[in-house]
Structure 1
């Protein structure tokens, strides 16, 4: 081989090595960061209801925050969540709400431009001016709730607990009896005023949404869930589950959340 040929080969090899060092192998396919998933519980539950969903999302590489919901008033709860989002998250956010938490995320999401999608799980999805109790009709409140007066309550307000004896049937019908009993004992009350307060402007008119619809829900009728989801233009996934579908069917709920994340971030 001539000296000229050897020189050309050396030069080409050196140039290729230099290019490999300066151009990342995946430059054509940059990895987008996964969004933060913020989970918002509803009334008569707490953030621990999201435990199974949280562990699955974390396993799949998502940052997850299970936000506390004060359950004191819809506008105040939404303001609390808005502050939580602004101070505890950076980058894109998928906002997930269960039951009354659906009304809270609908009111809070517009405060943070980083929220890219809403996911409702057996949730109330009010329009502006509607209340949770206004959407829910029928039933005997006296047979369902224990009413507890709390210090400093506005006139006519009180905390509502689901009666321990009926909690498993209406709230946790597809969970083991021991689990339902434990959740009934630890339930967080909601104020009557929170359930009666009209919704402010709602984010589902501006953001894409997904809805997990529990077809065996004994507290939020499946027909009402379908009506609210259709009105919001949500992509609906039906699951044979009672009201706490994130506890009884965390696999389905996780899949829907991740679908929303992939579609919007």
Structure 2
């Protein structure tokens, strides 16, 4: 009986040893069976589109803050030559210079541009409007403004080579620019911006908008309540029509310069989809 017990005891010890080894090895085997879940999705690329009478440098304070947060940022040079052409330019930029998810941010007339360009790229995840025009199909920037008043009181008209009959570059009069465009910035800054403004064509502001991306993409809107160019009431109407998430801030038309922290926070909120 004692002789038969030894093999049985030995077999028992072997079985227990194997079970113990399986208990040690199995978790590692399960872990290696598939990739660990990715809890940190890649940050989307942020593409900033300036409006009329400004340039890409107007985004500099926002660009720096977004880069500090680890975002890849492009501040596009908007041609300001015509709405459909400017949208096509942005579409080509997106296709050739970005990969992965994209958040489009438009200021002023740039809002109309991103509205028309976003659907060209399936990687665009959201739209952010900053004191911006949000046209529906068939609407124009001038039409949304109502087209009232004497344009010669606000603009200097400059004929440019190759312009179609009746078209011209529009500059905001330097005497009007500081109070209308940048009332909450230092006086020296306002004067510099007025001197360096990039013109937009009259035809760009008059051209009807195409199919609006805001009907199928989520959007956020920063509304400057002290904007003397784009009336806050019109901003509110357009933002509400687009079902945008609205943030109101006591800022002039150039809120990305006077309130860059608020603009940056809104862009990050859109990037996170919240």
- The TM-score, its normalising length taken from structure 1, stands at 0.92
Q: Does residue 1:161 correspond to 2:160, yes or no?
A: no
Decide which structure has the larger Cα Rg and report it: 2
Which among 237, 248, 253 is matched to residue 263 of structure 2? 253
Q: 1:8 Cα shift?
A: 7.3
Q: Residues 179-190 of structure 1 correspond to what in structure 2 (within 5 A)? A: 179-190=189-200
Select the residue among 134, 139, 145 that pairs with 2:143. 134
SS of the aligned residue for 2:273 comes to helix
Which residue in the other structure is 2:98 paired with? 89
Following superposition of structure 1 onto structure 2, how do residues 1-265 of structure 1 map, counting pairs within 5 Å? 11=21, 15=25, 18=28, 22=32, 27-137=36-146, 138-263=148-273
Structure 2 unaligned segments of length 5 or more: list them: 1-12
Distance change (3 Å), C-alpha of 1:234 and 1:17:
closer
- Determine helix, strand or coil for the equivalent of 1:32: coil
Structure 1 position 30, deviation (Å): 2.9
**What is the DSSP-based 3-state SS (H/G/I as helix, E as strand, rest coil) of the residue aligned with 1:109?**
helix
How many residue pairs were aligned? 262
User: How big is the shift at 1:48?
Assistant: 0.4
Separation in 2, partners of 1:119, 1:221: 18
Deviations 1:5-63 (A, max 9, x none): x9679947963895698489x92443200000000000000000001111111111111
CA distance in structure 2 between the partners assigned to 1:181 and 1:127 by the alignment: 34
SS at match of 2:205: helix
For 1:115 and 1:48, locate their aligned partners in 2 and report how far apart those are by CA, in whole Å.
Answer: 23
After superposition, the CA RMSD in angstroms is 2.2
Query: Residues of 2 paired with 1:16 and 1:38: CA distance?
Result: 47
TM-score (norm 2): 0.89
The Cα shift of 1:140 comes to: 2.6
Choose 140-149 or 7-16, whichever is displaced more. 7-16
Secondary structure class of the residue paired with 1:233: coil
C-alpha displacement of 1:143 = 1.2
Distance between the aligned counterparts of 1:21 and 1:123, measured in 2?
Answer: 50
Change (3 A) 1:29 1:90: closer
